[in-house]
Structure 1
Amino acid sequence: MIRILSILVGLFFTVALAWSFGNGAYQAITEPAAPTAEHEFHKHPKELELASNGAFGKFDKAQLQRGFQVYKEVCSACHSLRLVAFRDLKQLGYNDDEVKAIAAGFQVPGLDPATGEANTRPGLATDYFPKPFANDIAARAANNNAVPPDLSLMTKARHDGAAYVYSLLTGYQNQPAELLKKFPDSKTGPGLHYNPYFANLNLAMAPPLTAEGQVTFGDGTKSTVSQMAKDVSAFLVWTAEPKLEKRHQTGWPVLLFLLFATVLGNLAYRNVWRNEKH
């Protein structure tokens, strides 16, 4: 009796699931969803070639240093790098004295040793990059009620990674007349900025890179908006995956070893069982 009830219950749920799927498919075909501005005007990220791309990719340290400079002088005003310590910058080619100088240029939370009260102090190489705002309330108050995301893992958290960041930074523009004509209610609101590479087309973040020469690169590279966006995108690839080069260097020998072991195992199998009949 219990077995029969179990079969009936299972059959009921199977039929219910099949009916739901069929009904949903029928409605999707006969009553397609209304077109939206986001669906029609959202763009896929632009192509972005970086030295770190591909299975043999390596970081361009000069580019990473330029990208860090863009982050420091532009992005750090709103965005944190909570998973990156100042000492990690040695991987970009900075020496100990340079790392200490960079760290000292930031104010990090601390405690007064005499009173135990909270205060701020110059950063040390062992400190992590500080948050630009005390809390989310302060962040929202300064950014049109939006909390700027932490950038440590941004290129891992977004589809197309560095290309998405680059496209977003270089994609600010006026709303197309076609969009406003087709979707009059989609006009960008106060404090928002149209960007077709953002999911809902409107960003609370104002264009951070606005003019050529906004950042003066130490190596003499011309700092166009496109170049600054490309360099900071490369830098954020490093913050998200600082061991990328080591992973590439380790991965290929491991794959070659596995291939060799597979061939060796197959030959051993054939040698052991060659006289056996199947």
Structure 2
Amino acid sequence: MQQTRLSSSASSSSSSTAQQAQSWLGSRTSVALAAGATVGSIAWYTHLYGTVPFVGEVSANMADEGMHPPAYPWSHNGWFNSFDHASIRRGYQVYREVCSSCHSLDRIAWRNLVGVSHTVDEVKTMAEEVEYTDGPNDQGEMFQRPGKLADYLPPPYPNEEAARAANGGALPPDLSLIVKARHGAADYIFSLLTGYIDPPAGVEVREGMNYNPFFPGGAISMARVLFDGVVEYPDGTPATTSQMAKDVSTFLNWASEPEHDERKQIGIKAVIIFSSLTLIALYVKRFKWSAIKTRKISYHPPAKGDVSKH
């Protein structure tokens, strides 16, 4: 019996040692695999884009890719910051009075402006100023009606061909997702709108084009559209070029991410809830495993007299 007990204790000790060694080896292997995946991802990113991620990117060819826009301190960039809704309202005014003559906002409906930049009555009034083609009616004919909250903002041209014909062959892009579609996001939009300068010495820009170092190639068909005082803000904000560029960039950023503020609110709630659940899980884990982790297995050899009796 004593020999059986001895062999059982030795077997338990060997099994525990093997499990510890396996756990140690598994953790080291996981760390090595994670490190290898990280290094491989960085190497692949560098191979594709020619720069190390998160270190600061510099264009390899400024003439072809455009000057990299500087990073501006947008008020909504913080983890807990929302859009400046007064700026969104002013930005919509700039879009409506300046940009909407060429650029569309196909993904934005009138109802999207309610509670963000305007009241319900204000949006209804603006929508009713636009005539929309609807139908057919009971006679099978199309008819014109005032706009409703469910309608989308009207495009400046009926089709792509008309847009090209009115702009010398260039197609003005839709601005619904322009902030997400351009490297640099709102920084790029602001820099482009305020970056019109005379061509430097040695640079020739063909007729009908305008020099802007932030646009790929440096030559853009869109002329400068923002000048001091081109719009008049009802709230008394000075309508300088930089102020209008900032406001319309904020508006277009919201148009690209209308869920921005709500997403951050949900994120804050999720962080609070999951942090609380994590603390509870750690406490329960520590409580449940305390008996197992603090136990001590020891072997007490029998006295010589006890062995001789067997």
The TM-score range, normalised by the shorter chain, is 0.7 to 0.9
- In the alignment, which of 189, 207, 220 is matched to residue 224 of structure 2? 207
User: Deviation of residue 197 (structure 1)?
Assistant: 0.9
User: Deviation of residue 200 (structure 1)?
Assistant: 2.2
Contact 1:82–1:150 (8 Å) recurs in 2: yes
- Between the aligned partners of 1:47 and 1:243, the Cα distance in structure 2 is 23
* Letter of the 1:199 counterpart: P
- In the alignment, which of 183, 203, 213 is matched to residue 196 of structure 1? 213
Q: Which runs of 5+ in 2 are unaligned?
A: 1-46, 51-59, 296-310
Change (3 A) 1:170 1:119: farther
**Counterpart in the other structure of 1:142:** 166
TM-score in terms of structure 2 length: 0.70
Q: Residue deviations 1:177-206, cap 9 Å, x none?
A: 1x53xxxxxx22222211111122221211
Contact 2:137–2:143 (8 Å) recurs in 1: no
**Counterpart in the other structure of 1:270:** 286
**Counterpart in the other structure of 2:15:** none
Contact 2:88–2:117 (8 Å) recurs in 1: no
Taking the TM superposition and a 5 Å limit, the aligned residue runs for 1:112-131 are: 113=137, 116-118=140-142, 120-131=144-155
Change (3 A) 1:196 1:117: farther
Q: Residue deviations 1:127-177, cap 9 Å, x none?
A: 101111111111111112121111111112222211111111111111111
**Counterpart in the other structure of 2:124:** 100
- Between the aligned partners of 1:36 and 1:58, the Cα distance in structure 2 is 35
Contact 1:193–1:202 (8 Å) recurs in 2: yes
**Counterpart in the other structure of 2:256:** 240
**Counterpart in the other structure of 2:274:** 258
**Counterpart in the other structure of 2:188:** 164
Q: SS state of the match for residue 141, structure 1?
A: helix
Are residues 1:218 and 2:234 paired?
A: yes
- Between the aligned partners of 1:45 and 1:244, the Cα distance in structure 2 is 22
Change (3 A) 1:259 1:149: same
Taking the TM superposition and a 5 Å limit, the aligned residue runs for 1:49-88 are: 49-88=73-112
Change (3 A) 1:259 1:129: same
- Between the aligned partners of 2:97 and 2:173, the Cα distance in structure 1 is 17
Q: CA RMSD in A?
A: 2.4
- Between the aligned partners of 1:168 and 1:128, the Cα distance in structure 2 is 27
TM-score in terms of structure 1 length: 0.77
User: Who wins on radius of gyration, i.e. which is larger?
Assistant: 2
- Between the aligned partners of 1:243 and 1:70, the Cα distance in structure 2 is 22
Contact 1:107–1:130 (8 Å) recurs in 2: no
Change (3 A) 1:36 1:61: closer
- In the alignment, which of 173, 185, 188 is matched to residue 197 of structure 2? 173
Q: SS state of the match for residue 113, structure 2?
A: helix
Contact 2:105–2:175 (8 Å) recurs in 1: yes
Contact 2:210–2:223 (8 Å) recurs in 1: yes
User: Deviation of residue 215 (structure 1)?
Assistant: 0.5
- In the alignment, which of 40, 44, 57 is matched to residue 68 of structure 2? 44
- Between the aligned partners of 2:123 and 2:151, the Cα distance in structure 1 is 11
* Letter of the 1:169 counterpart: L
Q: SS state of the match for residue 291, structure 2?
A: coil
